[in-house]
Amino acid sequence: MDAPEVPDIRFSLANERTFLAYERTAIGLVAAALAVFHLLEPSVTQKVLGLLLLASAVIAAGGGWLRFRQADRAIRSGRDLPAGTTVHLMAAAVLVVIVAAGISVVV
C-alpha cells in the first residue's frame, strides 16, 4: 500500500476554506434558531421553525465535516473529488425552512 501523497497546499487550503464556510453557515443557522426561540411568540409553528433551523445547522456542520474528509482523502490520493450529497441536503433543508417560515408568518 502506497503512502498518501503530500498534496499541493493550495488544494488543502481551498478544502479547508470550504469546510469553514459550512461551519459558518451552521453557526448562522443556530443563531437564527435562537432568535426564533427567544424573540418570536412561543407557538407551535415558531418552535417547529426553530427546530428546523437547528436540524439544518446539524446538516451543515456534519455534512461539511464529511465533505472535508472525502475531499482530503481524494486530494491526498490523487483521485477526482467524489460527488457529495451535502449540497443537495442543504438546498432541501433551506427550502423546508423557507416553507416553514412562510407558514409561521401566515398562521
Query: Residue 86 pLDDT more than 60?
Result: yes
Which tens digits make up the pLDDT trace of 31-84?
999 999 999 888 898 999 999 999 999 999 999 999 999 999 999 888 888 888
Other C-beta atoms within 10 Å of 27: how many?
13
Query: Residue 1 pLDDT more than 60?
Result: no
- pLDDT on residue 41: 84
- Cα distances (angstroms) measured from residue 81 to each of 6, 78, 84, 104: 16, 9, 9, 39
- Provide the whole-model pTM: 0.83
